[in-house]
């Protein structure tokens, strides 16, 4: 039986002859190209401009609501802070402290400008002069006098809330901040 050349039905078929081929060149996989990083996309000047525009819109809304209702609604300060912070974040795409400081400062400026604009509307109505003439004649001393005449200690609370909102919403969330803690 050792010389039996018959194949068993359970044996493997003969393998094909081995071909000598040249080795394939190594395949290199390039990492996905990333044109810009988050740091490269940051734009502080654009964030400042967007924040200024948002502060102006917020100040106008503050004055409009106050003049229409004849009541200063302090919660408008939170809206101004959020609006400014959101604009700085959207346009500036920042992740650093500078963007937060800009958002906070412009939020405070928007609130103060809203109060000043309200005072100008009320004074223009009382003095029966056009609003544009009153604003054109506004000096820093007159503006400070007007703001101090309208000031109440409760304003500090709402200014602080506006500053907080502007600070909080002015930066984009980073991967480290949004990653779950283990």
The count of domains in the chain is 1
Closest CA to 104 of 177, 49, 159: 159
What is the residue whose two structure tokens read 């959020």? 82
Task: Classify residue 20: in a domain, yes or no.
Answer: no
Whether 38 has a pLDDT exceeding 60, the answer reads no
Closest C-alpha to 80, from 95, 98, 94, 66 = 66
Q: Which domain holds residue 108?
A: 41-173
Residue 130 placed within a domain: yes
With 0.85 as the threshold, say if the pTM is over it: no
Q: Is the pLDDT of residue 61 over 90?
A: yes
On average, the pLDDT of the chain sits at 85
Asked if pLDDT for residue 166 goes beyond 60, the answer is yes
With respect to residue 30, please indicate whether it lies within any of the assigned structural domains.
no
């Amino acid at each position: 039986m050792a010389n039996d050349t018959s194949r068993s039905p359970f044996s493997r078929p003969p393998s094909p002859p081995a071909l000598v081929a040249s080795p394939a060149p190594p395949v290199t996989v390039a990492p996905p190209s990333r044109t810009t990083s988050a740091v490269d996309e940051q734009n502080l000047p654009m964030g400042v401009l967007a924040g200024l525009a948002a502060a102006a819109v917020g100040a106008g809304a503050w004055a409009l609501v106050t003049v229409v209702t004849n009541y200063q609604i302090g919660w408008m300060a939170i809206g101004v802070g959020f609006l400014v912070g959101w604009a700085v974040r959207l346009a500036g795409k920042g992740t650093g402290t500078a963007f937060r400081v800009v958002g906070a400062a412009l939020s405070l400026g928007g609130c103060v400008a809203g109060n000043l604009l309200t005072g100008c509307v009320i004074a223009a109505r009382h003095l029966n002069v056009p609003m544009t003439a009153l604003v054109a004649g506004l000096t820093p001393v007159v503006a400070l006098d007007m703001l101090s005449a309208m000031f109440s200690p409760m304003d500090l609370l709402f200014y602080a809330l506006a500053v907080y909102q502007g600070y909080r919403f002015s930066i984009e969330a980073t991967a480290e901040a949004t990653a779950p803690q283990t």
